[in-house]
Structure 1
């Protein structure tokens, strides 16, 4: 069940990030899920490094702040991808 939540929230985070960056049609559903999941790792890492609370990761994947950090990480990832490609 936890993996299903990661996929759902990853897809939502990736989709929101792609809208923010302006690349909504480029990656599709699977791409949005992948971006969201990797964004969650990036956002959680950043939150941990700066000492921000709320990035609980696997302990509470449904917390609002974990989702916010996933979106932030996915936006950063998409911006970097757009810079490279």
Structure 2
């Protein structure tokens, strides 16, 4: 059950990050989910220890872990844009 919630929340966070980074028209729902989950994993290792709390991948769905996962997804999209276009939007 936790995996299904992670997929749904990852999809929503990936979609919101793609709107912020203006890549929503280029991505489908599958890529939004992948970006959200990978961003959550990135944030769990890097951002969450800095702000305190538990990562979203361990089932912690508080505001700090959701915000950290969102930031991780935005950073991941910025890195992808940097390699794809040579610049960050």
TM range (shorter): 0.7 to 0.9
List aligned pairs for 1:1-85, cutoff 5 A: 1-48=1-48, 51-85=50-84
Q: Pairwise CA RMSD of aligned residues?
A: 1.5
Deviations 1:50-73 (A, max 9, x none): x32134333334222211111100
TM-score, normalised to structure 1's length?
Answer: 0.87
In the aligned structure 2, how far is the partner of 1:52 from the partner of 1:2?
23
Q: Which one has the bigger helix percentage?
A: 1
| Offset of residue 47 of structure 1 | 2.0
In the aligned structure 2, how far is the partner of 1:30 from the partner of 1:61?
23
Gaps of 5+ in 2: 85-89
TM-score, normalised to structure 2's length?
Answer: 0.84
- 2:87 corresponding residue in structure 1: none
Residues 38 and 80 (structure 1), Cα distance of their counterparts in 2 relative to 1, 3 Å cut? same
The structure showing larger relative contact order (alpha-carbon pairs under 8 Å, at least 6 residues apart) is: 1
In the aligned structure 2, how far is the partner of 1:58 from the partner of 1:84?
27
